[in-house]
Amino acid sequence: QKLHTQGNIVRTGNSFDIAIQGYGLFQIAHPGGSIVYSRDGSFGLDNTGQLVTQNGYQLEPAITVPPNTLSVTVGSDGTVSAMVPGNTAPTQIGNLTLAQFINPTGLEPIGDNLYRESASSGAPQIEVPGQNGAGSLIQGSLESSNVNVVEELVNMIETQRAYEMSSKAISTTDDMLAYVSQQL
């Protein structure tokens, strides 16, 4: 079962790293022609200036960064602005949106931190970040794993001890039955 709970936000300083604070998934154009979803916000630029994932898949809605851009700013509401030479104010170049699902655990994992819509997940609801329950965006940061290592280690030790105890009980029962069958 996949848990879509919030992980810790880690500051990277890379202007194309975008973390989601709260609930929501980025929309990614998959090479097969479908839209897939991810919380992985480590983006970059391809050779045409498109904002893409680490695998080269284009972000939806498409964001094209103009050539010779000095800096890119992503607001918490998904507004993407670029500072280009010759302008004194940033120019808005697009808006990021987030997809929400009624049952996010029903999403079908397809690898590379990507999920596909399924019958059990329901249809996506596209929202502006920070509105209608959608999380806000944090530029220059990434979301780390939502796994609590200490808690999972304790759970693993408890499971190992329970297995050892069950194994010894079965072994003792087997020894008792062997004794009974040989002595009686």
Could you report the per-residue pLDDT of 29-86, keeping only the tens digit for each? 998 889 999 999 999 999 999 999 999 999 999 999 998 899 999 999 999 999 988 8
What is the rounded CA–CA span in Å between residue 128 and residue 76? 10
78: Cα within 13 Å, side-chain hemisphere: 25
DSSP for 83-102 reads E-TT-SS-EEEEE--EEE-S
- Residue 110: CB atoms within 10 A of its CB come to 14
pLDDT at 123: 94
pLDDT at 12 over 80: yes
Mean pLDDT on 121-146: 92
- Return the SS3 of 174: helix
pTM of the model: 0.78
Q: Which residue has the higher pLDDT, 6 or 136?
A: 136
pLDDT band at 7 (very low <50, low <70, confident <90, very high): confident
Statement: residue 135 has pLDDT above 70: yes
